[in-house]
Amino acid sequence: MTSPSVSRPCPMDRAPADPSAPLLGPGQWHRAAPHFAKGEVPGHVALVMDGNGRWANERGLARTEGHRAGEYALMDTIAGAIDAGVRHLSVYTFSTENWKRSPSEVRFIMSYATDVLARRTDQLREWGVHVRWSGREPRLWKSVVNALRRADEATRHNTTLDLVMCVNYGGRAEIADAARDLARQVAAGRLKPDGITERSFARHLYLPDVPDVDLMIRTSGEQRISNYLLWQLAYAEMMFVDTPWPAFDREHLWDCLLAYAGRERRFGGAVDAVVER
């Protein structure tokens, strides 16, 4: 599927040099979010935040600087999602395959993720965001696990936006883990094989209360899903935008939401044919 036209100057060119500096929160942008009719806003948007390294390389910077710039883009996009009325926002923060990156980059990502959560949790709580974690605990740094759990606990009463941080996450791993849970129930005699349905399977996903994805957006021009939310993407609309993640902001998100509002979702059905008389 093609991308909407979302090329725009990089927000980091006008952002504070310090990525932890204040930014414009929900309702503080220089223009209001687009107006959407009932049902036009996707309930669950999933982001593949791609292009940090390429953005940095094009500017002669270390790859780690791309990750730093991505923090500003993430916070601005969260604010834009709130302004538009999105209820669930999943972000692919670190995949089960990202352990293949250089040890120095992995160390930076783990340390920086811990730091970002520590600095941003209070701000996200004020915005009405509930920070949640989806992924596997084994191998993940304890500092990251603790930071994710603290953020979840600190924001658990918020209902404006569910922010699902997919950290040490893989779609195949999630499906395998769910299948393993069901297999144990069958082996223990608590479940019959014929009792396994799509609905019962979904109850064993990492966050079973989070609805399926309505819209997936991947930045930086790559057109693949990279083992992301494989079960939840079954009927999602997909948009692949050329803008690298550090250059993505709330207006890029709004452009994608407007394009989504113009699509007709059929969930495997067909458009009613015109009957000729």
Active site residue 255: no
The first and second tokens of residue 10, run together, are 């990089």
d(CA 41, CA 81): 10
Active site residue 98: yes
Which strands, in side-by-side order, build the sheet including 161-169? 129-134, 161-169, 88-95, 44-48, 215-218, 237-240
Catalytic position from the list 50, 83, 162, 255: 50
Catalytic position from the list 18, 52, 57, 98: 98
Residues with a known catalytic role: 50, 98
